[in-house]
Structure 1
């Protein structure tokens, strides 16, 4: 890939990154988790998907003349609700926030003025938003935060058969992993890859947050039904997310 179109921070030299900073490039930081994803998916699903979406967003922005660079993924976050299954790594909030602040502070010290914390794990959503606000106040740069499937909004629904957006180890996540890293899918276990379609007990409104152990909610570790997943759906989901989020981040009024 030509150096002038490279979007990954770790593939660029310091001089090339200095040039990106001088051009007011947006730094996109994918944020994820390392946790159980049912019987059929490797534990790195959120890392794979958050990184894949972030890179596609950045490439669209660069193609449209809006400079962007993608940090390596912050690979662990808040996943206490998955721990009982095993195979899960989690942090406390203070540590998680400190890691995010260290990354954003480093971007600021490297001369960048704008950062997007692009989250790919539901359990991180509120924490990433809070940490992003603290970074903006403490470091004097512009910081936005959001979870990629929330930012994609209604763009996923026409692609999916059994759900309208991302759940967990579901049709959507499984499809995206099939497109991004197919060896991370255990296709022989797809028959067991289904569970309830919500983490909320009857009567709990969508606006009310209370984390519960997934072990209590879904014996399989899945929320949704991955049996309908395909790589073609995954590619369509990634393209839809990239298009929607690149447009949102390209809105100059967001950064005014």
Structure 2
């Protein structure tokens, strides 16, 4: 029987045993929001879950115990609200949901948690939450947005972009691989936009979120017209392999 890592498919007894084995808990975190004219609103949920599962498969294949919770499907997406089709939370609600999940895992005896984020708007909040929860619950909590953690394996696989953006070549390719029915291929010709969410003269270190509608009438940042399912398969493999390598580093959890 294949190693089962999904929390919701394990019994309470089996999860207690995983905690005793010092299993890592991976919590995928996403958003329900517009993704241009060509992608369904659940992109971040599908990709966040896909990356978490592929990473867990590699961790378990390395002989280490791991558990993946169901995806936290909504987060901080105010910057997409102007397009419709988006659900957003206030920061306090979002942080409260994450706190409750991590606290539950800690109460059950798990000592290592990865907040694996798959939505750019959550990035700063997830980083703050990881630090707060480590102190509050006395366990090791890491947090990161997958394309920020392993950017070096993403850019070389893309033709028109330097990295993963939004509803772009990378995200569209991975959705074509994981959930092709979520792609409206007849709208791909419209699926392109600016190559940055920053205005001219705004350095990378200066944070100022603005509505995506003001930045990109299509709702896309990047260029999805070069997307392919084959590229998506390679991206998922490369991302999960590097993410597993990062999370298997014993120094990270020392």
Structure 2-normalised TM-score? 0.99
SS in 1 for 2:25: strand
Matches of 1:157 and 1:82, distance apart in 2:
25
1:154-205 residue CA offsets vs partner (Å, 9 max, x unmatched): 1011110011211000000000111111111011110110111111111000
Report if the CA contact (8 A) 1:38-1:193 is conserved. Answer: yes
Aligned residue in 1 for 2:28: 30
Structure 1: any 5+ residue segments left out of the alignment?
Answer: none
Q: Please say if 1:130 is aligned against 2:166.
A: no
1:179-194 equivalences under 5 Å are 179-194=177-192
Spell out structure 1 runs of 4+ moving beyond 4 A: none
SS in 1 for 2:159: coil
Matches of 2:238 and 2:148, distance apart in 1:
12
Aligned residue in 2 for 1:231: 229
Shift of 1:19: 1.1
Aligned residue in 1 for 2:154: 156
Report if the CA contact (8 A) 2:39-2:184 is conserved. Answer: yes
1:1-256 equivalences under 5 Å are 1-2=1-2, 5-256=3-254
Matches of 2:182 and 2:17, distance apart in 1:
36
Matches of 1:154 and 1:255, distance apart in 2:
23
Report if the CA contact (8 A) 1:32-1:76 is conserved. Answer: yes
Matches of 1:187 and 1:110, distance apart in 2:
45
Matches of 1:150 and 1:202, distance apart in 2:
22
Matches of 2:149 and 2:233, distance apart in 1:
17
SS in 1 for 2:194: coil
CA RMSD of aligned residues (A): 0.7
Shift of 1:249: 0.4
Matches of 2:162 and 2:48, distance apart in 1:
19
Matches of 1:252 and 1:8, distance apart in 2:
23
Report if the CA contact (8 A) 1:152-1:240 is conserved. Answer: no
Report if the CA contact (8 A) 1:163-1:224 is conserved. Answer: yes
SS in 1 for 2:67: strand
